[in-house]
Amino acid sequence: MTSNELRETFLKFFEDKGHRRVASASLIPANDPTLLFVNAGMVPFKDCFLGTDKRDYVRATSAQRCVRAGGKHNDLENVGYTARHHTFFEMLGNFSFGDYSKREAIKFAWEFLTEKLGLPEEKLWVTVFHEDQEAEDIWFNEMGINQERFSRLGEADNYWSMGDTGPCGPCSEIFYDHGPDVAGGPPGSPDEDGDRYIEIWNLVFMQFNRDKDGTMTPLPKPSVDTGMGLERMAAVMQKVHSNYEIDLFSDLIKSIAKILNVGDLNNKSLRVIADHIRSTAFLIIDGVVPSNEGRGYVLRRIMRRAIRHGHKLGATDAFFYQVVAALVKQMGDAYPELKEKSAHIESTIQREEEQFARTLDKGMKILAQSLEDMSGTVISGEVVFTLYDTYGFPDDLTADIAREKGLTIDQEGFDRLMKKQKETSKAAGKFGVDYNESLNIDTQTEFLGYDRFESEAKVVYLFKDNDAVEQLEKGETGVVITEKTAFYAEGGGQVGDKGILIVGDSKAAVFDTVKVNNAFAHKVKVLEGRLAQSDSVQLIVDEDKRSATAVHHSATHLLHSALREVLGNHVTQKGSYVDHERLRFDFAHPEAVSSDELALIEKRVNDEIRKNHAVSAEVMPMDKAKERGALALFGEKYGDDVRVLTMGDYSTELCGGTHVSRTGDIGSFKIIQESGIASGVRRIEALAGRAAVKFSQQQMALIQQLAHQVKSEPAKVSEKVEQLLHKTKELEKQLEKLNGKLASNRGTELVANAKDVKGIKVIAEELTGVDGKSLRDLMDQIKNKVGSGVVVLGVESKGKASLIAGVTKDLTDKIKAGDLVKHAAEFVGGKGGGRPDMAQAGGPNPEKLGQAISSVVPFIEQSIN
Ligand code: SER
């Protein structure tokens, strides 16, 4: 049974049992910042288990693509070391959302395995959660299984949860015994980790929703989530002991071996590459881009691990991208998107390979040297960090290399150095080079500006350059730190506030506000008087700018929701910028957004503006925010309490920024540009409020001006321009004809004036008003008319000298056009050449054309002698 047949048999079996067949969802969980990737078949149904998503079916079956790397369920380290682990795999599953429960789940599973697939019962082994008497009774009394092949296990093995939070429950697992030839023991035995007994099916009896504190709330109704790894089951059906020997992998491995010129198909590195190309390709399809954070970093780690294994097998050039074609052949029918996006996948991989190639060799040498120098079996955190920081080796890649040599890495030491680096770069990045971490500020500024534009506070610190000072004089620039402020400090994409500080008659302009640790730093220039430490200052925000900024910030949230609505939930924020004049939003999306989609997105945002939703902010614990479905940038660290910004039912995001009170305040929204900024990352630039209106007015004015210029009216301007273009083309054609005629006349005239040089007719003339193309035509005509002779023409065109020489065929053994034009071109400072009968040249000195032409006759005289 091929893997494709197995997938179909499974889905069909459950369809016949009343389940709705549901297509695989994207690997990026929709609106679930708690999860890096879809890591199980149940993830897309999470809300169905929780009862918050009601669908028109209560039984479902799917073959869901899954990635287990970099999250709670992480198999990256095991790939290459076992026969059954993958970063990417397909999970076959059947689900009940409050419909059937344990009994039916167990019956369906047993029927499918023993009857539909015909597996002998004596090859199967069953486990249950040790407290789940009900499941045990069903297995023994109703299914009558052999009690010798049965184990009761604890929470680590038989209690399943999606992540730290979410639906969970006890489970019952079915194992397949690959026979005594394979090392390993039954579940629960000391050597259970071998490859002999392989878990093929996990039946989870979903009962609770676990929250962040571990509190278990019962689900509305007991449910079922089962998961069977397609690759593992295919190994059983194809009677092989390793997933890497099944049909889905064997051709892929052969292709990789061919690309890398490797003979041993059992080589571990080939398996790693075969596994990693699958996760790499599908993650790229779903909009992930290799980067240094979040999902992108997991992808980068997978890719670099594969590239390193290729390098180990002797690859000196980029090879990983070449594997895509083999994967498309293998899985393109089941996943058409793989075919459609193959060029994009290849180029993304190739770029990453090229980037990593620059440092891979060097890094490997550094590592080899460190290994030689070290004693013991643990590679130091410093070495791992240097490899990461300078050579782009993710720590797990170094750990993989270490493991091959029986070594480990000092993970803690590495993590410590990473943390330190993050802190340093954060401080430096936020504050620029002038005011860096040496400022050593411990103030915790309280932000008052959500509902006001003015405040009063004492100056706690004053800085000039990097030094704390007592006062700032008129004309000086520096930094003012206060304990409270109405000024918003740059963050979350929103620019820092501008405004003024006043103390008595003294006044300073605030040209930016940024955060340094927990302090708000006002960057100022003193305009009048001076500012001194301990002064009580009046802080006045430029209200007009702040309001216009809020308009753009709120519009950004609506845009984010509209993008997800129109393009899909794979759209995740990659960055944003908001100020009083415009907004910019970067997001993951694999291709350019079409103009129809842009028009729809713009319309949707304006619709939601007109609905005039109330905008509200509420501070709540992170888990509650997640429950509300708040959009958050994954990988960003949020404190326990977060600020959730809601716009009616249309947008819910974690955000610390300042916003309008109702969406109607935004007024108007206009997209002005869409572009790609990195592979898989798009950027939308847009305007809101006054800026949008102003833009529309400018556009309208432009059209009116155009209409006026072409003597038409705005509605007809396009038609008019079309006519004008048409007319211009016609005129150009006519002009060309006329030029031809003129040239022809000119030709006759020139032939009539030909000089006789030792019996050869020579025409050498400097012309005016002829362009380059006509010069050639003219040359051809003169040659035709003269029959036998030498012609040299020169013309000034666009500030440069153009020369052309022609010699009729009968004379080319005496004189060559190439030599002639080369000689003449020297006068105009140029070079040239060509065929014996026709040659052209150009030069920068058109004023010397006269001399060039005069030199022709003497040159011919000399050549003939
Ligand atoms: N969610 C369970 C698992 O992943 C069963 O599908 O094992």
Q: Could you read off the pLDDT of 268-282 as tens digits, one per residue?
A: 999 999 999 999 999
Cα-to-centroid distance, 85 and ligand 1 (Å): 14
> Ligand 1 pocket, 160 CB below 6 A?
yes
Is the pLDDT at 635 greater than 50? The verdict is no
Q: Count Cβ neighbours within 10 Å for each residue of 779-804 and write b for 16 or more, e otherwise.
A: bebbbebbeebbbbbbbbbeebbbbb
Give the percent of the chain with pLDDT over 90: 70
The region, left, alpha or beta by phi > 0 then psi within -120 to 50, assigned to residue 632 is beta
Distance CA 178, CA 189 (A): 16
What is residue 679's predicted lDDT score, i.e. its pLDDT?
67
Tokens for 233, please give them. 């089951």
Q: What is the mean pLDDT of residues 353-379?
A: 89
The predicted-structure confidence for 378-389, as pLDDT tens digits, reads as follows 999 999 999 998
What is residue 638's predicted lDDT score, i.e. its pLDDT?
46
Distance CA 392, CA 489 (A): 33
Q: ∠ CA(432), CA(437), CA(441), 5° rounding?
A: 115
Backbone φ, ψ for residue 504 (5° rounding): 55, -120
Distance CA 853, CA 782 (A): 16
The predicted-structure confidence for 535-571, as pLDDT tens digits, reads as follows 999 999 999 999 999 999 999 999 999 999 999 888 8
In sequence order, what E strands does 542-602 have?
573-578, 583-588
**CA dist 467 → 31, 436, 441, 641, 860 (Å):** 46, 11, 12, 34, 81
Cα-to-centroid distance, 228 and ligand 1 (Å): 8
Distance CA 392, CA 385 (A): 9
Cα-to-centroid distance, 301 and ligand 1 (Å): 24
The predicted-structure confidence for 659-668, as pLDDT tens digits, reads as follows 999 999 999 9
> Ligand 1 pocket, 202 CB below 6 A?
yes
Q: DSSP for 672-715?
A: EEEEEEETTEEEEEEEEHHHHHHHHHHHHHHHHHHHHHTTS-GG
User: H/E/C letters for each residue in 450-504?
Assistant: CCCCEEEEEEEEEEECCEECCEECCCCEEEEEECEECCCCCECCECCCCEEEEEC
Distance CA 538, CA 733 (A): 72
For ligand 1, atom 4: residue with the closest CA: 40
The predicted-structure confidence for 335-360, as pLDDT tens digits, reads as follows 888 998 899 899 889 989 988 988 89
Cβ atoms of 809 and 838 closer than 8 Å? no
**H or E element, residue 613:** none
Is the pLDDT at 72 greater than 90? The verdict is no
By most ligand atoms within 8 Å of CB, the mutation choice from 171, 199, 207, 228 for ligand 1 is: 171
The predicted-structure confidence for 672-697, as pLDDT tens digits, reads as follows 999 888 767 899 999 999 999 999 99
Cα-to-centroid distance, 633 and ligand 1 (Å): 26
What is residue 413's predicted lDDT score, i.e. its pLDDT?
94
Cα-to-centroid distance, 173 and ligand 1 (Å): 10
Cα-to-centroid distance, 225 and ligand 1 (Å): 7
What is residue 658's predicted lDDT score, i.e. its pLDDT?
96
Cα-to-centroid distance, 42 and ligand 1 (Å): 7
Tokens for 440, please give them. 């050593």
Nearest-Å Rg of the Cα atoms of the chain is 37
Is the pLDDT at 427 greater than 60? The verdict is no
For ligand 1, atom 1: residue with the closest CA: 40
Q: What is the mean pLDDT of the chain?
A: 90
Largest CA distance in the chain: 122
Would you place residue 429 in the very low, low, confident or very high pLDDT band (cuts 50, 70, 90)?
very low
Cβ atoms of 179 and 190 closer than 8 Å? no
Name the more confident of 421 and 561: 561
Contacts of 318 (CB under 8 A, 6+ apart): 350, 353, 354, 357
Strand partners, 755: 762
Is the pLDDT at 430 greater than 60? The verdict is no
Tokens for 486, please give them. 């109405």
What is residue 432's predicted lDDT score, i.e. its pLDDT?
37
Q: What is the mean pLDDT of residues 125-150?
A: 96
By most ligand atoms within 8 Å of CB, the mutation choice from 42, 129, 158, 198 for ligand 1 is: 42
Cβ atoms of 169 and 209 closer than 8 Å? no
Tokens for 421, please give them. 């680096």
Would you place residue 809 in the very low, low, confident or very high pLDDT band (cuts 50, 70, 90)?
very high
Would you place residue 33 in the very low, low, confident or very high pLDDT band (cuts 50, 70, 90)?
low
- Label residue 378 exposed, middle or buried (CB < 10 Å: 0-12, 13-18, 19+): middle
What is residue 142's predicted lDDT score, i.e. its pLDDT?
96
Closest ligand 1 atom to residue 41 Cα is 6
Distance CA 573, CA 741 (A): 64
Would you place residue 425 in the very low, low, confident or very high pLDDT band (cuts 50, 70, 90)?
low
Distance CA 256, CA 276 (A): 12
Distance CA 104, CA 469 (A): 76
What is residue 295's predicted lDDT score, i.e. its pLDDT?
85
By most ligand atoms within 8 Å of CB, the mutation choice from 38, 226, 230 for ligand 1 is: 226
At 150, the amino acid letter reads F
What is residue 31's predicted lDDT score, i.e. its pLDDT?
56
Cα-to-centroid distance, 16 and ligand 1 (Å): 22
What is residue 428's predicted lDDT score, i.e. its pLDDT?
42
The predicted-structure confidence for 289-298, as pLDDT tens digits, reads as follows 888 778 888 9
Strand partners, 540: 454, 500
Backbone φ, ψ for residue 169 (5° rounding): 175, 170
Q: What is the mean pLDDT of residues 182-196?
A: 91
> Ligand 1 pocket, 226 CB below 6 A?
yes
> Ligand 1 pocket, 228 CB below 6 A?
no
Backbone φ, ψ for residue 254 (5° rounding): -60, -45
Distance CA 61, CA 9 (A): 12
Distance CA 388, CA 373 (A): 19
Cα-to-centroid distance, 223 and ligand 1 (Å): 13
Cα-to-centroid distance, 44 and ligand 1 (Å): 12
Cα-to-centroid distance, 165 and ligand 1 (Å): 15
Is the pLDDT at 431 greater than 80? The verdict is no
Q: What is the mean pLDDT of residues 497-525?
A: 93
Backbone φ, ψ for residue 497 (5° rounding): -75, 155
> Ligand 1 pocket, 94 CB below 6 A?
no
Q: What is the mean pLDDT of residues 177-194?
A: 92
Distance CA 309, CA 312 (A): 5
What is residue 389's predicted lDDT score, i.e. its pLDDT?
83
Closest ligand 1 atom to residue 91 Cα is 6
> Ligand 1 pocket, 204 CB below 6 A?
yes
Cα-to-centroid distance, 399 and ligand 1 (Å): 28
Contacts of 828 (CB under 8 A, 6+ apart): 794, 801, 803, 841, 842, 843, 844, 845, 846, 848, 849, 852
Q: Count Cβ neighbours within 10 Å for each residue of 69-107 and write b for 16 or more, e otherwise.
A: bbbebbbbeebbebbbbbbbbbbbbbbbbbbbbbebbbe
Q: Coil, strand, or helix at residue 270?
A: helix
Cα atoms in the Cβ-side hemisphere of radius 13 Å centred on 736: 9
Distance CA 732, CA 211 (A): 75
Closest ligand 1 atom to residue 93 Cα is 6
Distance CA 302, CA 296 (A): 10
What is residue 719's predicted lDDT score, i.e. its pLDDT?
94
> Ligand 1 pocket, 227 CB below 6 A?
yes
Q: Nearest to residue 40, comparing CAs of 3, 12, 2, 73? A: 73
Q: Compute the 3-state secondary structure of the chain and give helix, strand, coil in percent, each to the nearest 5.
A: 45, 25, 30
What is residue 646's predicted lDDT score, i.e. its pLDDT?
96
Q: What's the whole-model pTM score?
A: 0.57
Q: Nearest to residue 825, comparing CAs of 810, 808, 804? A: 804
Name the more confident of 271 and 636: 271
Would you place residue 776 in the very low, low, confident or very high pLDDT band (cuts 50, 70, 90)?
confident
Distance of CA 730 to the CA centre of its chain: 47
Would you place residue 742 in the very low, low, confident or very high pLDDT band (cuts 50, 70, 90)?
confident
Q: What is the mean pLDDT of residues 430-455?
A: 70
For ligand 1, atom 2: residue with the closest CA: 227
